């Protein structure tokens, strides 16, 4: 049985930058292409998984809504990690985040890279 190729996407921007929409769009493409996807959110990128945030945003009208793109990642069981200091500076606790989101350190990325994951950063 063939092992799925791994991809990690680091998202550093929130609504402040259209690159975040591109990152979630590429994440959805990774799922469509059968990759084992993980996402790590840092800086204002952590805002995307704060309950209610994605409903208010659509940086690129050519893409599906942010809520749809993020929900697809969650629904496909992809691991989504949030940088602890980035969450703390925003006073985010686990209960402030969407279901299934983990507050984890950078080892979240390192372990996947050691397993051969490709790494993209936006």
* 67 occurs within a structural domain: yes
In a domain, 1, yes or no: no
Q: Is residue 8 exposed (0-12), middle (13-18) or buried (19+ Cβ within 10 Å)?
A: buried
CATH of the domain at 42: 3.40.1260.10
pLDDT in tens, the chain (122 residues): 668 899 999 999 998 888 888 999 999 999 999 999 999 999 999 999 999 998 877 767 777 888 999 999 999 999 999 999 999 999 999 999 999 999 999 999 999 999 999 999 99
**pTM confidence score:** 0.92
Domain boundaries, position 57: 6-121
Any domain includes 74: yes
Read off φ and ψ for residue 64, nearest 5 degrees: -60, 170
Q: Which two tokens stand for residue 44?
A: 């204002």
How many angstroms separate the CA atoms of 9 and 28, rounded? 11
Number of structural domains the chain divides into: 1
């Amino acid at each position: 049985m063939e092992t799925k190729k791994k991809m990690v996407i680091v998202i550093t921007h929130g609504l402040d930058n259209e690159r975040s929409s591109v990152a979630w769009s590429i994440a959805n493409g990774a799922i469509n292409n059968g990759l084992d996807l993980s996402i790590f959110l840092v800086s204002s990128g952590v805002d995307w998984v704060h309950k209610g945030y994605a409903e208010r945003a659509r940086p690129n009208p050519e893409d599906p809504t942010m809520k749809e793109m993020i929900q697809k990642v969650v629904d496909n069981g992809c691991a989504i990690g949030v940088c602890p200091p980035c969450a703390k500076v925003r006073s985010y606790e686990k209960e402030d985040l969407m279901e299934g989101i983990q507050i984890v350190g950078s080892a979240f990325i390192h372990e996947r890279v050691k397993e051969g994951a490709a790494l993209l950063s936006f």
